[in-house]
Structure 1
Amino acid sequence: MSTQKRARACDACHSIKIKCPLGSTGEPPPCERCTRLGKECIITPPKSQKDRVAELEAKVQALTRLLEAQGLASLGSSDASDEYGTDQTRALDSGGGFIAGTKKRRLEESRSDRLMGTESGSRKEITQGITAVSYGNATSGLDQIVSVEIQARILHRYTTEVYPQFPVLALPADHTLEVLRSSQPRLLQAITYAVGWPVLSAEIQDNVAKLLMSDETAMAAGEKTLELVQAIQMACLWYWAPKHHKHLAAWQLIEISVDIALSLGLGGPTPFASASQTIVKKGESVDTLGSWRAWLMCYLLSHVASIYLRRPNANIWTPYHDECTAMLEYSSQSLPGDRLLGKYVRAEHLCEQVVSQLQLNNEDAVLDISDPAVQTTMQTLQNRIVDWQAHIPASLRLPGLLFWQHVATIHLHESVLYTANNKRSFAAPFVAERLSVTDFPAPAAVTPEHVSSLLALRTACHALLDIFDAIDSQALLALPTLLYIPRAAYAQYILNKMYIACVAAGNTFGSVLNADELRVDEYLGKAIAVATRLTAVVSHGAPASMLIGTVRTREWFQDYKATVKTSKVYDTGTAAAYVHRHEDPEQWQPPQGLLDDLAWDDFLLMSGAEPGVPADSGFNDRFANAATERFAHDAPLDGDFEL
């Protein structure tokens, strides 16, 4: 019988389950990875079974004494696990799903009970075994802002509430808080920043944002790792702009993540792969599934930014994207959440196909939808939308995924609203001040193709907003802000543009589409109701802050509706085909407290400072604090509209 000692991996490599050279060669530390990353390389001697049992018994006794000292011994272990679960119930099970016994925290409970330092007794039990050991500047900086106990609650929220809705970052079952703190502290910062605001106060959330979102030069100049790419992507998806801080816009973060991913070789066999690809694949990039997810999210985020800003997407779809998506969906090593993520990526690719083939990002191209060639292209794209929907299995038909069908349909038919000069107005921000009442389509001959697109556009906008309104608060707060809130605002924006095209002086669409059937006021009211609902849960959250813009849009719509009805142009019959169903415009006041302490900077998704992009295409110039003050006094914002 051989007495030779078995080679062991170092603790750092073992904690994240990657291959360590010491485990195969038996050499003494440090290993190559720890040397490269500047980590302390230690090999902990194995413990005998007897020692492990004694250690666990000692921990149980210590926890029991602690519970008794705090008067919580009467709470059974089942109570604590029901609210938060043990480490095992908080984590993914071996199949990648969630253990059925875990209960989700109620988001509609008292807001004060969720703020820092106001935990209930059952919440304390989940965090009592956690130690505040600092693992360097990244963890110590976060610890100074958010306690370790609150970090545990936020991580629990991600795994139980956010991941099932949008599985962008799959944490292995053994990635407990201590593992993240010791091996991936930047990722923990990003999770705290992205999904922590229902738990944190506004002030603390701002401090977390400032900690994570340093200037782009520092991010780009730092060590390039898969962890950094994933952290930036989390920040982009749940973007939150801290107050009184030089904003690092979402599109800048997206470009940084793409550049780092390319330098790491995550883009596959492309000309951009550098010499560092070999080094990465020996170390960090051993998480192949994580690399595929990160590269696909680079594509998804790049396209989202390009369509919001209406600029070409440099990160185009390649066969390697197809390969990564197929592997996520069908590989035996993939987690169940990976299949859902693959469907999200394919949905965004579907939108890109519509945008690119109909040249929506080309300001100089205005297609005639009655052209047979254009109709052939639109029919082909419509078939792809139907095909995408048909390939979604029943188990994945979540509202957040079906939402994309209507996004693609809106893009498919929005060309019916284009003129030679208004195409730029379809870029963000989607606010009332960008709605022109003079530049709208009015073809001399309204064709069946125009009618078909108008009806399809109306139906898609209504369906998208109905899905958005039906999503409960918990799920809506868990979905990525960048992907959903602006698209709901865009659907409202399109309805307003359709209304103008049906009632404005000189219109021709009003003869074939009754503007009342657009139900603009009703759907704006639904969006305000969603904002009110979210504000009741957490007043400083980015989704609620963004939806507040609907208040101004509804005011604009009601003013415009009243003006059109009483104008001489209407009386002379230029728009006589349009008949109002309501004699008087509805009198409406914003819900009490909805506009209190509104931070318009939270509306920031992108900056207009990008070279070649007009400043008015970004949220920064439209929603400054000065604009908020003018809005509060009912004075017009810059860029007044004419009635």
Structure 2
Amino acid sequence: MARSFQHESSNTRKRNRACEECHRLKIKCDVSTSLGVACERCSRNNVECVPAAPRLQRDRINELEAQVQELRKAMQDQSSSTTPSRSPCRLLENHNHAVLSFLDARIPSSQQQDLLRIFAHHAGAAWPVVRLPVELERIRAKSPVLLLSVLVHSVTQDTQRTELAVHDELVRETMHILGDEVIGRGQRSIELVQALLVAAYWTKPLRGGPQGSCYQIVQLAADMAIDIGIAGSSLQPSPVAYFSRHEDPTALDARRTWLACFVALSTSSMDMRRPHPFPWNAHHEECLLHLESRGEPSDILLCQIVRITQLNQEISNHLCLCQLAAFVDGNDYSTHATIETLKNKVDAWAAQIPPSLASSQTLKVWWHVAMIHIYEIVLHTPTNKATFAAPFIPGRIAVKDFPKPAKIIPPLKTALEAIVQNCHAVIDTAAEMDPALVLSLPTFCFAPSVLYSLYVLVNVLVAATDPANTYGQCLTKGAFHIEQCGLKLRSLTAYTRSLDPTLSCFTTRMFDATGWLEEWYNNYNAILQRYETNLAFS
């Protein structure tokens, strides 16, 4: 009886698993107690009802993974039949092709070769921070964005032989492409650092709309140089860039590019009077010595530019030029002891310039600008240091905030005479330059240095012509020759405008803007004359 009860129980209870047929159709399997072990559907269709075989969980997982793989393969096959391959190399090729297509549609390839030669013989020779291969196809294949930056920024619109609207489009879109490369696509390479440097050094104006900042571009270039590992071991890359290191950080091109970043950063620091973000260190010195001993002929000039730039940084550090809260008294003997030491260093640099560069007007300008930086301290008060930052425009002249010592020490008198002489030397040298050289030198460095010299000269004039100030005992109004300076700058502007009639280069625009000097000086003279007249009648 017990055996009969057990058999009946097994026939009447539901199975734990569906039958094979219901499992295949993925429908509910209902076992009827009246039909024995067969489910209702199998009984209705007169099909043998066989319980489905058990499947282990790992078998089911394997089955699902196989299905996923089949779906992926099907999707890839479908994608490859309608669109190009999406591999990283293919994406890079497509992007480079788009950049070159944009360039070719506006500057024919035959003209690109001519502009590349012009860069090599003019901007690239005057300021050798980037060396490019002479073969156009080589740079097109390797560095299309660098090629675009060079052809757009390093020549005037007249030399580029494009319509003005096309020229402006090239400037605008080049900046967009650089932004997309750095921010949008997260690209990092030595060629991209160089492209950013070219766009900053030879920055160009846009007609209408907001203007990008060349100072920000310089910072982007320096940060990328650190990320790709060419800035030395003391400056570590950001975590996201750990695997983007340059294949040979000790190569000449890598060392040259990092020194070019240093010069740009130092210029930015002095222009804006902000502390240098990456001061001179052992790696800079190593790069410089390597370039001097193993570099190419054009590196001789670059090394001299780097050396005087490093001296300018040293001048800034010792005299706190970029520390606006620190005041260094220009009427103090200890200050002039520091000034004398710095002056001797600059003179020593000038004495060691190689004979091949002895007549370089570019280095002559930088020599006198360094001297002006040394002597600028005699114009400082605890509150006016910020006015010596760019822009160098008449509205920033501190017409009342200047030193007024009760008694002038002898070294201060010498310093006042020296600063006027060096300001004149910068303006005279620039005025004597070939206008083609003036336009080849970087707008970021050269034109602001000339304007700085003029600006300092005017500040000395204001301090010395105040009837109540003791500076007038050291310098008379006739020592400044402001009218002659204005005439020389107007003549230089006329020459540069003949080569750049549309003012597509910022250098032309900046020199053209010095027309303010004549009007400002005439107005200032009128004020002085009225004051002297009133004083005579009182």
**Structure 1 length normalisation: TM-score?**
0.66
1:551 equivalent to 2:512? Answer no
What amino acid is aligned across from residue 270 of structure 1 in structure 2?
Answer: S
Q: Identify which of 224, 233, 236 aligns with 2:197.
A: 233
8 Å contact kept, 1:306–1:313? yes
What is aligned with 2:314?
353
Q: Identify which of 457, 474, 479 aligns with 2:419.
A: 457
What is aligned with 2:291?
328
Percent sequence identity over matched residues?
Answer: 27
What is aligned with 2:115?
154
SS in 1 for 2:245: helix
CA distance in 2, matches of 1:464, 1:40: 47
What is aligned with 2:372?
410
Q: How far off is 1:216 after superposition? A: 7.4
8 Å contact kept, 2:416–2:474? no
- Structural mapping, 1:132-151, within 5 Å: 136-151=97-112
- Residues 159 and 573 (structure 1 numbering): CA distance in 2 closer, same or farther, change over 3 Å? farther
SS in 1 for 2:278: coil
1:342 equivalent to 2:303? Answer yes
1:251 equivalent to 2:215? Answer yes
1:488 equivalent to 2:450? Answer yes
Q: Identify which of 396, 415, 419 aligns with 1:434.
A: 396
Q: How far off is 1:371 after superposition? A: 2.4
Q: How far off is 1:187 after superposition? A: 0.8
CA distance in 2, matches of 1:481, 1:148: 27
What is aligned with 1:280?
245
- Residues 144 and 375 (structure 1 numbering): CA distance in 2 closer, same or farther, change over 3 Å? same
Moved more, 159-168 or 196-205: 196-205
Q: Which runs of 5+ in 1 are unaligned?
A: 1-34, 42-132, 575-643
CA distance in 2, matches of 1:502, 1:312: 30
8 Å contact kept, 1:505–1:570? no
Q: How far off is 1:374 after superposition? A: 1.6
- Residues 494 and 229 (structure 1 numbering): CA distance in 2 closer, same or farther, change over 3 Å? same
- Residues 168 and 40 (structure 1 numbering): CA distance in 2 closer, same or farther, change over 3 Å? closer
Q: How far off is 1:437 after superposition? A: 2.0
SS in 2 for 1:481: coil
SS in 2 for 1:136: helix
Q: How far off is 1:279 after superposition? A: 5.2
8 Å contact kept, 1:296–1:345? yes
Q: How far off is 1:363 after superposition? A: 1.5
CA distance in 2, matches of 1:573, 1:497: 28
CA distance in 1, matches of 2:180, 2:534: 58
Q: Identify which of 488, 491, 499 aligns with 1:529.
A: 491
What is aligned with 1:192?
151
CA distance in 1, matches of 2:258, 2:330: 35
8 Å contact kept, 2:497–2:508? yes
CA distance in 1, matches of 2:454, 2:534: 24
- Residues 428 and 40 (structure 1 numbering): CA distance in 2 closer, same or farther, change over 3 Å? closer
Q: How far off is 1:406 after superposition? A: 0.5
SS in 2 for 1:482: coil
- Residues 40 and 424 (structure 1 numbering): CA distance in 2 closer, same or farther, change over 3 Å? closer
Q: How far off is 1:567 after superposition? A: 2.0
8 Å contact kept, 2:222–2:261? yes
1:181 equivalent to 2:140? Answer yes
1:267 equivalent to 2:231? Answer yes
What is aligned with 2:343?
382
Q: Which runs of 5+ in 2 are unaligned?
A: 1-86
What is aligned with 2:76?
none
Q: How far off is 1:505 after superposition? A: 4.0
- Residues 531 and 271 (structure 1 numbering): CA distance in 2 closer, same or farther, change over 3 Å? closer
- Residues 573 and 295 (structure 1 numbering): CA distance in 2 closer, same or farther, change over 3 Å? farther
Offset from partner CA, 1:118-176 (integer Å, 9 cap, x none): xxxxxxxxxxxxxxx9950111111222222322221111112222222111224xx41
- Residues 376 and 158 (structure 1 numbering): CA distance in 2 closer, same or farther, change over 3 Å? same
8 Å contact kept, 1:367–1:415? yes
- Structural mapping, 1:1-16, within 5 Å: none
What is aligned with 2:43?
none
Q: How far off is 1:498 after superposition? A: 0.9
| Higher helix proportion | 2
Offset from partner CA, 1:296-346 (integer Å, 9 cap, x none): 111111111111111111111111000101111111xx2100121111111
- Residues 280 and 218 (structure 1 numbering): CA distance in 2 closer, same or farther, change over 3 Å? same
How many residue pairs get matched? 443
Q: How far off is 1:39 after superposition? A: 7.8
CA distance in 1, matches of 2:506, 2:517: 18
SS in 1 for 2:329: coil
Q: How far off is 1:287 after superposition? A: 7.8
**Structure 2 length normalisation: TM-score?**
0.78
CA distance in 1, matches of 2:136, 2:354: 34
What is aligned with 1:468?
430
RMSD value, Cα: 2.3
Offset from partner CA, 1:432-470 (integer Å, 9 cap, x none): 111232222221112212101101101111111111111
Offset from partner CA, 1:207-253 (integer Å, 9 cap, x none): 11112112875343231111100000001110112222432201110
8 Å contact kept, 2:368–2:422? yes
CA distance in 1, matches of 2:535, 2:410: 28
CA distance in 2, matches of 1:436, 1:249: 26
Q: How far off is 1:562 after superposition? A: 2.0
8 Å contact kept, 2:346–2:370? yes
Q: How far off is 1:281 after superposition? A: 3.7
What is aligned with 2:328?
367
Offset from partner CA, 1:329-382 (integer Å, 9 cap, x none): 111xx2100121111111111111111110011122221233232222111111
CA distance in 1, matches of 2:165, 2:434: 26
8 Å contact kept, 1:237–1:482? yes
What is aligned with 2:279?
316
What is aligned with 2:23?
none
SS in 1 for 2:445: helix
CA distance in 2, matches of 1:40, 1:499: 58
